[in-house]
Amino acid sequence: MPIIIDCIQGTAEWKQARNGLITASLFEMVIAQKKQGQKTSRYHSVLMKLAGERITGKTVDEGATLSMRRGTELEPSARRLYGTLTQTQPECIGFVLADDRMKGFSPDAFVGKNGLLEIKTKKPEILIPHFYQKSFPAEHKAQCQGGLWIAQREWIDLMLYWPDMPPLIKRAYRDEVYIRKLESEISRFNEALEIMVQKIKCTDTGFGVRIKIIREGDERGENASKARIGGGLGTKVGEKTRSRFKERAVIRRRKSRSVQR
């Protein structure tokens, strides 16, 4: 069963709930490929971003774009209009965590026992072409099917909205073949993410010394993040590094004596 996180979207609690997780809004990026079958640059960028979040336990706030802020401002009005048109009571949900805790989804609303609502605000020149298209918008398929997969629901209404424009609502049902494809791609993404995290955690600094990160609030009750160098013994360096320092010190003393003579 999916796990419902009761929080308000955009808050610190919401950001922490989705920290280090691949979410449905990024599923389209995960399955996208170049002509040669390679992953896109954005794929690798997101991979590194999430790896950083998992290692630090913190999310870097990159700010909201104009379209994101506009969507946040218009979403409540769109949700109320949807409820009026469909005679339903959309339920606001903070975050849905998949039962494996490896991915998540921030729905715009739950509708009844089996439905979801996804709202997209689009300027008139972008919205109008959709009135001439019978098919479900391809650019939103991965997110919407991903939401159905994670939330374990049967259908989703995609509402394309702009104030004073007629709203356009398109419904999609679970596409099990597509969902299996998503599941495979997201699984591979998470495997690559975990490999990257473990590799960074065990990285070599270049001095033959390995770094272990101790984050705030660990079981020792440390007040600040620290780095252990060497065999995990405080700030002591490894034997090889100490011997290098000694050799350099001896060479410097010999040179100094030669100059004095």
pLDDT tens-digit map of 200-255: 988 766 665 555 554 544 544 444 444 333 333 334 444 544 455 455 554 555 55
Bridge partner list, 97? 3, 104
Strands 22-23 and 103-105: parallel
Name residue 249's amino acid: A
In 3D, which of 20, 3, 57 has the Cα closest to residue 190? 20
Mean pLDDT (the chain, rounded) = 84
Spatial distance between the Cα atoms of 129 and 58, rounded to a whole number of angstroms: 40
**Which of 52-61, 132-141, 187-196 has the least mean pLDDT?**
52-61
Spatial distance between the Cα atoms of 119 and 161, rounded to a whole number of angstroms: 7
pLDDT at 129: 97
Query: Quick one: what percent of the chain has pLDDT higher than 90?
Result: 68
Whether the per-residue pLDDT at 192 is higher than 70: the answer is yes
8 Å CB contact between 8 and 88? no
**Which of 45-59, 128-142, 211-225 has the least mean pLDDT?**
211-225
Give SS3 for 66.
helix
Domain with CATH 3.90.320.10 in the chain: 3-200
**Average pLDDT of the residues in 72-91:** 96
Cα distances from 185 to residues 29, 94, 147, 189, in angstroms, run: 10, 25, 15, 6
Band (pLDDT 50/70/90 cuts) for residue 68 is: confident
Whether the per-residue pLDDT at 19 is higher than 80: the answer is yes
pLDDT at 236: 42
pLDDT at 205: 64
Burial 202-226, CB ≥16 within 10 A → b, else e: eeeeeeebbeeeeeeeeeeeeeeeb
**What pLDDT digit, counting tens, does each position of 146-167 carry?**
999 999 999 999 999 999 999 9
Please enumerate in sequence order all residues whose Cβ is within 8 A of that of 97, keeping only pairs 6 or more positions apart, or say none.
2, 3, 4, 5, 17, 21, 104
Band (pLDDT 50/70/90 cuts) for residue 36 is: confident
8 Å CB contact between 202 and 212? no
**Which of 27-31, 194-198, 208-212, 219-223 has the least mean pLDDT?**
219-223
Domain 3-200 fold: Lambda Exonuclease; Chain A (3.90.320)
pTM exceeds 0.85, yes or no = no
8 Å CB contact between 46 and 29? yes
pLDDT at 64: 74
pLDDT at 211: 53
